[in-house]
Amino acid sequence: MADGAASRGATPAGTAPGDEAAAARNIREMFGRVAPRYDLLNKLLSGRVDRYWRRRLARAVRPYLERPELRAADLCCGTADVLLALAKERRRRFPAGGQTQMIGSDFCRPMLTAAAAKIARENLPSALVEADAAAFPLPDGSLDLITVAYGFRNLANYRRGIEEFARLLDRGGCLAVLEFSQPANRLWGPLFELYFRRVLPKIGNAVSGADGAYSYLQNSVERFLTPEQLADLMLASGFRRVERRLLTGGISALHLAYK
């Protein structure tokens, strides 16, 4: 893979290419504006399929969730929907509780405020940390499982992000990245593209009240690494094996990387 592809990252509107500090700042502010209506828009724009995608992530990492002493973090946790899916899956194995805490982390305070309310309401065994996923305040090898759903695409430098996740994971640990993809099917692909380019940004921008946030979503998915580039980056960054599962005709893809 050309180094350029992996070393680039999100470039939201108004950010000069290569200015990673400004990119991260703009992303954080944009999600801050989206946060109050984020859950509503997920429901509206995906018809609740997003919940199924997070459930698939949780099921895929079940062998880790069944470990009694799991050390896990959901990075770019947003409003804690992945933490909820992971806790539900883990409860199948440990119905009486006794669970170790999972960390949820995001660098956007309003998202964490919404996450805290959900964690309290659902009585989740989670602790929240405000931090940048690409420079996470834990020592090397301190986690067994890292999940990142629809957050990785927003990092200012993809290579730095993957290298940070590899640093945080212990030997045998798993990184699960859930991200949008672009369906390749000749029938489904153009239909999805029409929805994603024409319909979704209009509804998303209008309902969120965050001007341009859902145009950014569409642009960022189109600019994101291909699944093959992401797999190459994972293998070049200390992971020994990668797997990919396409969901709903390839609208989402679950990338699993094992250290």
User: Shortest distance, CB of residue 229 to ligand SAM, whole angstroms?
Assistant: 19
Residue 240 contacts residue 259 (beta carbons within 8 Å): yes
Residue 155 near ligand SAM by CB under 6 A: yes
User: Shortest distance, CB of residue 107 to ligand SAM, whole angstroms?
Assistant: 4
Residue 57 near ligand SAM by CB under 6 A: no
Query: Structure tokens of 58?
Result: 């949780």
Residue 77 near ligand SAM by CB under 6 A: yes
User: Shortest distance, CB of residue 104 to ligand SAM, whole angstroms?
Assistant: 9
- Considering only 64, 150, 158, 196, the residue that binds ligand SAM (CB under 6 A) is 150
Residue 214: closest CA among 226, 225, 224, 206: 206
Provide the 3-class DSSP secondary structure of residue 41: helix
Interface of this chain with ligand SAM, residues 16 to 55, rule: CB under 6 A: 24, 27-28, 31
User: Shortest distance, CB of residue 236 to ligand SAM, whole angstroms?
Assistant: 20
Residue 132: closest CA among 113, 109, 166: 109
C-alpha angle 126/78/198, rounded to 5°?
A: 155
Q: Residue type at 139?
A: P
Residue 225 pairs in a beta bridge with none
Residue 132 near ligand SAM by CB under 6 A: yes
Residue 164 near ligand SAM by CB under 6 A: no
Assign 3-state DSSP to the chain and report helix, strand, coil percentages, each to 5. Answer: 55, 20, 30
Residue 213 near ligand SAM by CB under 6 A: no
User: Shortest distance, CB of residue 30 to ligand SAM, whole angstroms?
Assistant: 8
Residue 236 contacts residue 259 (beta carbons within 8 Å): no
Please report, as ranges, the residues that interact with ligand SAM according to CB under 6 A: 24, 27-28, 31, 76-78, 81-82, 106-108, 111, 132-134, 149-151, 154-155
